[in-house]
A and B are shown apart, each in its own frame.
Chain A
């Protein structure tokens, strides 16, 4: 068992609140900064990285790569402008990959 840290990456408006509950915040307003931060965090002692959907949409390649490793867990969260539905899409993709057909969201769409 070892100790890890938690980070949140995203635009300043969305992540500022996380600081108060003891999560490290890394503001990134564009994909370039987001990419370098994400790469840096992946190499460090972070167990969970929360990232806003808006930013994640532009960094899909890196996130896909990180998803294959056990740690860190990259979790998408909505930002202050609301959700883009990317997080749900990811669940759906996983279901399709594993089962071959979407059986969870069938009723809605």
Chain B
């Protein structure tokens, strides 16, 4: 399949320029895709590890939590957890991974009014069960990993999206635009050659006619 053009030298020059440009773009995009995939693989491995770790830890925390719920009256439980001693605030900046903007997170734990050195447990130990303590300890222990997981997973998603887009562009250039341009410039060259041959034959013919009349 070729682009419909006038078979002229000017058109041929234009096509050749376009072809050069397309090839350069193709090379650049291909490099971009390769680097994106490299970054992606690093992140995705990290993502998998973090997720495995977190799923294990969280399940343990939940199991303890359920136990605590079972041995404590629901009201006591609600009451114990009603006023958290911490407030989390999250600072998010953008980081640039191969011109894909992904969030980078930093967090602060602000201690609420109680003052310095308040423990992570928002309740007295008198009427709560020990399972609740361990459960909350695990939870607060994996918080950094949880946020890291959020960051990594988001980056992986955004990268996957970008890789798909870039790959599509690379393929469009490689299998559609570049062959089309090559095909068309070949067509023009053939047509021009054919015209030249035509002109030559015509000249020879005319020469014959003129000579025979002399």
A residues with CB within 8 A of B = 1-6, 13-14, 16-23, 47-48, 50, 67-68, 70-71, 73, 75, 77-80, 82-83, 87-88, 90-91, 94-95, 97-100, 104
Contacts and interface: CB of A to CB of B under 8 A. Distances in A.
B84 A19 contact: yes
Interface in B80-101: 81, 84-94, 101
Classify chain B: how many residues form its interface, as a range: 35 or more
A14 B146 CA distance: 15
Given A2-B92, A73-B151, A94-B157, A20 B59 contact: no
Given A20-B84, A20-B120, A80-B66, A97 B101 contact: no
Given A48-B147, A73-B151, A83 B55 contact: yes
A99 to B, nearest CB: 7
Contacts, number: 141
A98 B55 contact: no
Interface of B: 36-37, 40, 44-45, 47-48, 51, 54-55, 58-59, 61-63, 65-66, 69, 77, 81, 84-94, 101-103, 105, 109-110, 120-122, 135-136, 139-140, 143, 146-147, 149-151, 153-154, 156-161, 163-164, 167
Candidate in A18, A94, A98, A100 with the most chain B CB atoms within 10 angstroms: A98
B86 A91 contact: no
Give chain A's interface secondary structure class. Answer: mixed
A52 B143 CA distance: 16
Given A4-B90, A17-B139, A70-B158, 8 more contacts: A6-B90, A6-B147, A70-B94, A70-B102, A78-B62, A88-B48, A99-B163, A100-B167
